[in-house]
């Protein structure tokens, strides 16, 4: 039996239906990500689990208990929001201890658990610092410690890293994942950043327009998208209409579009024949560096195809050069 279950969840605000018959399961100890564009319903689904929103219809189960109508304070759920909402008049130790004091845990036990949790999040040297004395990353870790110190049944993280700069954000992604695995804590993470979802998740639930578009492990989500939306939202796929692809390659298939990733394409100035591969002729329009990757934009008939290769200055193909793109048929996904 799944640890968390959403059964036929519908949530409407007046005439606007935000969640449309959602069925979703989470296993104990997993970190699951709700991924999708703004307005797709991911934060609303999280709030339905926490009790901050009531469902219009459907059932929510936690640890095999129906919590659909349970008061939020009795659900034993920890939450970390985009705004950390630390109490400005309390230091780190007092902020982390707040939930335990509300539960009337004995002071000796509070001191012990606060020290353990602050050690885990790496804030031992800032125990008596106030929020105004902490960096954004330290505030985020303090909020995380406050949410986890009560040993909640599940930890909910609603875009907690979106206000942090890119370099620190990456290190905190790794840190949150490490802590979650170390404590074997069940967690649901909300983000619109596909790279963040790929790094942190056991399972990704991709949401679109109030529904679950695809549920899969990160690798499967990236390599086997089930729809055009999934292919365009996860990573970067070239998308070519089936009839145009057939004209380019002679290969036909079922569906409306063919998707293939830029990094699976080989580019050369001479045709290359390989078994199980197709070749597309075009010419380089522009090349742009993306860190250690060079992305070529190649016009093939009326369609632009992006090609990613390792950035090697000596082998850059000039703009306007006729080129041949080679890729395996197995890397072409008909949608």
What does the pLDDT average to over 228-247? 93
Residue 1 has pLDDT above 80, yes or no: no
| Tens-place pLDDT, residues 306-315 | 999 998 766 7
Are both 165 and 304 inside the same structural domain? no
pLDDT, tens only, 181-210:
988 999 999 999 999 999 999 999 999 999
160 versus 61: the higher-pLDDT residue is 61
Same domain, 178 and 287: no
For residues 136 and 179, membership in a common domain is answered with: yes
What average pLDDT does this structure show over 242-270?
93
Q: With a cut of 80, say whether residue 82 has pLDDT above it.
A: no
The pLDDT of residue 235: 81
Whether residues 92 and 52 fall in one domain: yes
Residues 2 and 26: their CA atoms lie apart, in Å, by 6
| Residue 166 confidence (pLDDT) above 90 | no
pLDDT value of residue 170: 85
Verify that 19 and 168 share a domain, yes or no: yes
Q: Cα(166)–Cα(5) distance, rounded to whole angstroms?
A: 33
Q: Are residues 21 and 170 in the same domain?
A: yes
Mean pLDDT of 209-219: 97
Same domain, 229 and 306: no
Cα separation of 213 and 113, whole Å?
A: 40
Whether 186 and 39 share a structural domain: yes
Domain range enclosing 325: 238-334
pLDDT score recorded for residue 207: 97
Predicted confidence (pLDDT) at residue 155 exceeds the cutoff of 70: yes
Mark whether 223 and 262 lie in a shared domain: no
Last residue of a domain, one of 188, 214, 233: 233
Residue pLDDT, tens place only, 85-103: 899 999 999 999 999 999 9
Is residue 22 domain-shared with residue 89, that is, in the same domain? Answer: yes
Q: Where does a domain end: 213, 233, 253?
A: 233
Alpha carbon dihedral 240, 244, 248, 251, in 10-degree steps, equals 90
The mean pLDDT of the chain is 93
Instruction: Give pLDDT, residue 29.
Output: 96
Q: Is the pLDDT of residue 256 over 80?
A: yes
Query: Which CATH number belongs to the domain containing residue 138 in this structure?
Result: 3.40.50.300
Same structural domain for residues 228 and 86?
yes
Say if CB 2 and CB 27 are below 8 A apart.
Answer: yes
According to DSSP, residue 316 is labeled P
Please state the pTM of the whole predicted model.
Answer: 0.88
| pLDDT-derived band at 317, boundaries 50, 70, 90 | very high
- Please choose, from the candidates 162, 165, 169, 167, the residue with its C-alpha nearest in 3D space to the C-alpha of residue 190: 162
Residue 168: pLDDT over 90: no
Query: What's the domain count of the chain?
Result: 2
Say which CATH number the domain at 281 has: 2.40.50.100
pLDDT > 80? residue 83: no
Task: To the nearest 10°, report the CA torsion of 229, 234, 237, 243.
Answer: -20
Domain boundary among 182, 210, 233: 233
Residues 149 and 278 in one domain: no
């Amino acid at each position: 039996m799944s640890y968390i279950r959403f059964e036929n969840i519908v949530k409407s605000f007046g005439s606007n239906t935000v969640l449309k018959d959602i069925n979703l399961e989470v296993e104990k100890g997993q970190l699951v990500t709700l991924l999708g564009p703004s307005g797709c319903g991911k934060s609303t689904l999280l709030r339905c689990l926490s009790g901050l929103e009531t469902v219009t219809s459907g059932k929510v189960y936690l640890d095999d208990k129906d919590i659909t109508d349970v008061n939020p304070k009795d659900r034993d759920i920890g939450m970390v929001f985009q705004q950390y909402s630390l109490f400005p008049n309390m230091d780190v130790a007092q902020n982390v201890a707040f939930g335990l004091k509300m539960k009337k845990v004995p002071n000796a036990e509070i001191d012990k658990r606060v020290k353990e949790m602050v050690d885990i999040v790496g804030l031992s040297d800032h125990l008596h610092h106030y929020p105004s004395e902490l960096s954004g990353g330290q505030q985020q870790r303090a909020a995380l410690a406050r949410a986890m110190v009560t040993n909640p049944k599940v930890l909910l993280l609603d875009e907690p890293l979106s206000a942090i700069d890119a370099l620190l954000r990456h290190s905190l992604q790794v840190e949150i994942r490490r802590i979650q695995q170390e404590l074997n804590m069940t967690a649901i993470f909300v983000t619109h950043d596909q790279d963040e979802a790929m790094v942190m998740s056991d399972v990704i639930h991709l949401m679109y327009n109030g529904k679950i578009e695809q549920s899969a492990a990160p690798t499967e989500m990236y390599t086997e998208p089930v729809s055009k939306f999934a292919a365009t939202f996860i990573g970067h796929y070239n998308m070519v209409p089936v009839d145009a692809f057939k004209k380019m390659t002679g290969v036909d298939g079922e569906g409306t579009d063919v998707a293939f990733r830029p990094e699976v394409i080989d580019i050369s100035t001479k045709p290359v024949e390989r078994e199980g591969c197709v070749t597309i002729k075009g010419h380089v329009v522009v090349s742009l560096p993306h860190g250690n990757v060079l992305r070529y934009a190649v016009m093939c008939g009326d369609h632009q195809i992006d090609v990613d290769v390792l950035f090697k200055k000596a082998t850059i193909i000039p703009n306007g050069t006729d080129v041949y793109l080679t890729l395996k048929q197995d890397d072409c996904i008909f949608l």
